[in-house]
Amino acid sequence: MPRIQLVLAAAVALALGACSQQSPTTASAPAATSAPAARAATTGAAASAGTTPDIGIKLAYIDHAVKPGDNFFEYANGGWLKTAQIPADRSSIGSFYDVFVATEKHTAELIRNAGADNPAAGSNARKIADYYAAYMDTAAIDKAGLAPLEPELGAIDAIRTRKDLARVLGSRLRADVDPINATHFHTQHLFGLFVTKGLEETSTQIPYLLQGGLGMPSRDYYLSKDPHMVQAREAYKTYVAALLKQAGIAGADAKATAILALEIKIAQAQESLVDSEDIHKADTLWSTAEFPKKAPGLDWPVYFKAAGLEGVPRFDVWQASAISGESKLVASQPIDAWKDLLVFHTLNGAAPLLPKPFEQLNFDFYGKTLSGTPEQQARWKRAVAATNSDLGDAVGQLYVNKYFPASSRAAAQAMVKNLLAAYRSGIRNLTWMSPATRKKAEEKLDTLKVGVGYPDQWRDYSSLVVKPDDALGNHIRAIEFEYALAKARIGKPIDDNQWWMTPQTVNAVNLPLQNALNFPAAILQPPFFDAKADPAANYGAIGAIIGHEISHSFDNTGADFDAHGRLKNWWTPADLKHFEAATAALARQYSQYQAFPGVYVNGRQTLGEDIADVSGLTAAYRAYHLSLDGKPAPTIDGLTGDQRFFIAFGQAWRSKARDAALRQQLATDVHAPAKFRAETVRNLDPWYQAFDVQPDAKLYLKPGQRVKIW
């Protein structure tokens, strides 16, 4: 991310994109498509010539041997890049990693101390303490073996007919969706469920049905002819066989071949990431009665009953062709192949919480092979991450109470207000936009709801059972708990103030259906925001992040939603034509960036994030100058205010990633790699003036080629 990556492919949540690169790699990879992206907030402080090199931008990171106009990413970060080492248990390192590590340290302390005062049974503190203790109790995990999975494995073994298969598939439907990648859910589900407001209505929440069923990160891993993807498929088949053998299942090699063959068919039925991001293709309402006709093959009445959804009148079928295609496979492929697939997905999804041999096999594939990470994270780090995931709001309350005072929230809210004013100024000064469209754009700003730090209402975990000696059971119950919450929202009004991230999440998100933004507390800290830093540094870093998230309300997806969060065109034909031409030019610009020899960024795939980067940086620059209140910016450490602003932006994207992780990002993420996001500056005229960038520079764009959208 910065990635909240995702919309329910793009409409449900648009995130920043960077923190997903810093998350643990021990869990098995998600199997669905993805969603759009977003960002964060904070406020600036007065600058002084006495600012030290450790406050705001880092002078030591700058490589003066590189011309800013040739490679701005390396100019801003080259000094750091020369010595930075990716930790053995990580797939990348950078600015987001720094914030993640600081936050991890704080949450680890809170989680480990949650049981210090012997909290009452059933309290949040007791649940946190017991969840963490169970995760750390490897002796109990080894003793339990596969016992926690026996009910699921027994149900799979009992499948004899297609009706039985539909019943088991339905019983496994879950809503454990990655809040940042809104269409990502766990591998053991053929489909995934997401519940939020309908695309064209303002009051009622409906269920969205999403494609799934894959064990590798995306369909590209199954269909691409790229040699690295071909190698990944072979490694995956080896992993599948090894996991089955570890479980004592006979004929593992043959079953692995059949499982991969079935998943390839599922991948062929699925829609691409680019198509999944097209919100208009996702506006597909089916009544429950229409499923047997529109998606024949799966016994839908049995499926919905087993999923606890038999009374639901309608669904938004996000990837309609994929749902139909996968349903046909349920009827056409051998029942035994489906049973083998379900057994593997059950083991695979649980592997990080099974005895050591299962856990190690899982990491060796998803961590080492797919992400290039040599070593697994220490168990306490994985336990902290898991507790944060399954008891996020409970930990979040502790985090906010200790690390995010009211003064920090007020400061962030003030900066958000300033960015909104700058954005409004930009809209009013667009020469190409008609008064009618401008009025609608301003209405979106008027109704935009901005959540800073933490939600006003916390999740109630009273019904979630957590035991101190049942790690896998705790996780399974947490997933079931989320599913029950999602089902309970169906048919009810949406709360536009609902949060989709925990306070300790290092990210930010734009929610088009709610016309809302979430800026979690954790991202509001150095190096993105520092109260001791000068305004140029703060606006270049966190200001651009805030602007990024605001801009998602007006990117290629957000611009399709009106002030009430409805999928509705509010553009005049001429204005829309101009907007689409500008965004197409940006897509072409990013498609020219080459990550590896012959491997380029897909500018259509990353377009929403790229629009938000350009527009967010533009708004942040405008807000920075508004903050000066007509006074000249001081020169600090030999750098002008504008130079410090742009360097702060470049350093916010400071990152180094392993090749395997970068290849995975190119295939699965709606965010461009960080080094290309830093080059966003080439679209802003003031950058050329700040660094005297001339036409012979490699990043130089003629004035008419510089993309200006908002």
Residue-by-residue DSSP string for 359-418: HHHHHIIIIIIHH---SPPPHHHHHHHHHHHHTHHHHHHHHHHHH--HHHHHHHHHHHHH
- Residues forming a β-bridge with 561: 567
Interval 560-597: pLDDT, tens: 999 999 999 999 999 999 999 999 999 999 999 999 99
Residue type, 544: A
CB 510 within 8 A of CB 496: no
Centre a 10 Å sphere on the Cβ of residue 374 and count the other Cβ atoms it contains.
Answer: 14
pLDDT for the residue numbered 462: 97
CB 498 within 8 A of CB 480: no
Give this prediction's pTM: 0.87
How far apart are alpha carbons 487 and 464 in whole angstroms?
16
pLDDT for the residue numbered 640: 97
What the block records as the tokens of 164 is: 């039985």
How far apart are alpha carbons 180 and 313 in whole angstroms?
28
How far apart are alpha carbons 677 and 695 in whole angstroms?
21
Q: Name the CA dihedral angle for 544, 549, 553, 558, rounded to a multiple of 10 degrees.
A: 110
pLDDT for the residue numbered 183: 30
- List, for the chain, all residue ranges whose pLDDT scores fall below the cut of 70: 1-54, 176-188
For the chain, which domains are there? 147-378 (1.10.1380.10)
How far apart are alpha carbons 101 and 123 in whole angstroms?
28
The H or E element containing residue 483 is: helix 471-489
| CA dihedral (686, 687, 689, 695) positive or negative | negative
Reference 411, options 546, 597, 286; nearest CA is: 546
Reference 23, options 88, 86, 100; nearest CA is: 100
Reference 180, options 506, 542, 638; nearest CA is: 506
CB 453 within 8 A of CB 404: yes
